A and B are shown apart, each in its own frame.
Chain A
Amino acid sequence: MNAEQILFILFGAVSLIGAIAVISFRHPIYSALSLIVTFFAQAGLFVLLGAHFVAAVQVIVYAGAIMVLFLFVIMLLNLGTLSVKGAIGTKLKGFAIILGILLAAEGIYIAMNALNDTAVASAEPAAITTTTYDIGELLFSKYLLPFEVTSLILLAALIGVIVLVKRDSQEENQNR
Chain B
Amino acid sequence: MSLEYYLVLSALLFTTGVIGVLIRRNAIIIFMCIELMLNAANLAFVAISRSLGEATGQVFVFFVMTVAAAEVAIGLAIIVSVFKHRQTINVDEVNSLKG
Contact = CB atoms under 8 A, between A and B. Distances in A.
A binds B: yes
Interface of A: 4-5, 8, 12, 15-16, 19-20, 22-23, 28, 31-32, 35, 38-39, 42, 45-46, 48-51, 53-54, 57-58, 61-62, 65-66, 69-70, 73-74, 76-77, 79, 82-83, 85-88, 92-93, 96-97, 99-101, 103-104, 107-108, 110-112, 115, 119-121, 123-126, 128, 130, 134-135, 138-139, 143, 146, 150, 153-154, 156-158, 160-161, 164-165, 167-168
A153 B70 contact: yes
30 contacts: A15-B9, A16-B9, A20-B16, A66-B35, A66-B68, A69-B72, A76-B80, A83-B26, A83-B29, A86-B90, A87-B25, A88-B23, A88-B25, A96-B19, A104-B11, A107-B10, A107-B14, A107-B15, A111-B8, A111-B10, A111-B11, A115-B7, A123-B52, A126-B53, A130-B49, A154-B69, A154-B70, A157-B70, A164-B78, A168-B84
Contact of B23 (A5, A23, A39, A53): A23
A72 B73 CA distance: 12
A105 to B, nearest CB: 9
A130 B53 CA distance: 8
B56 A70 contact: no
A139 B63 CA distance: 10
A82 B26 contact: yes
Nearest to B66: A150
Interface of B: 1-20, 22-26, 28-29, 31-33, 35-36, 39, 42-43, 46-56, 58-59, 61-63, 65-74, 76-81, 83-84, 88-90, 92
Contacts of A93: 23
Contact of A19 (B13, B69, B79): B13
Q: Please report whether the interface of chain A is mostly helix, strand, loop or mixed according to DSSP.
A: helix
A31 to B, nearest CB: 5
A15 B51 CA distance: 21
Given A8-B5, A69-B72, A111-B7, A103 B18 contact: yes
